[in-house]
Amino acid sequence: MDNDCLFCRIVAGEIPATVVHETPTTLAFRDIDPKAPVHVLVIPKTHHRDVVALAADPGAAADVLAASAAVAEAEGLTGDGFRLIFNTGSHGGQEVFHVHAHVVGGRPLGPMVAR
Ligand code: AMP
């Protein structure tokens, strides 16, 4: 655990979150500032800075993907579809440096990125 990391502190129960799914290795909770009717963050419980670091831990990466799919299913998104986003680094707009998959859906989401 990184004591300076917001999401590590959520995993530790030090900061509250609305948890919607949990496995031994992952946690999923609602984004505090949702950008769509469904906006859930899926994280590995272990600290990885970003998706590049997560990719070096294939077991954790697979667990995050499986949990993301389970959240999408539980939130009723698999019929009409949804978006799974890993913002990475400054150009990617990453603000919290504990890797997280955004599961976003519940309405048409428009273009993938702004031009
Ligand atoms: P990113 O820009 O990809 O790093 O996304 C960080 C996300 O974390 C943003 O969508 C924030 O709204 C969200 N966020 C920040 N603090 C919290 C929190 N305490 N609980 C839930 N979501 C949070």
Asked about 100 being catalytic, the answer comes back as yes
Sign of the CA dihedral 33, 71, 52, 49? positive
Q: Which amino acid is at 107?
A: R
**Contact residues of ligand 1, CB 6 A cut-off:** 6, 15, 17, 29, 31-33, 41, 87, 93-96
The CA distance from 47 to 97, in Å, is 9
Q: According to the model, what pLDDT value does residue 115 have?
A: 83
Ligand 1 centroid to residue 20 C-alpha, Å: 15
* 8 A C-beta contact, residue 64 and residue 44: yes
Ligand 1 probe mutation, 41, 64, 103, most atoms within 8 A of CB: 41
Ligand 1 centroid to residue 7 C-alpha, Å: 9
The whole-number average pLDDT for the span 61-84 is 98
Neighbours of 90 (CB within 10 A): 8
Q: Which residue from 46, 45, 40 is spatially nearest to 73, judged by alpha carbons? A: 40
pLDDT at 5 over 90: yes
The whole-number average pLDDT for the span 6-32 is 98
pTM: 0.98
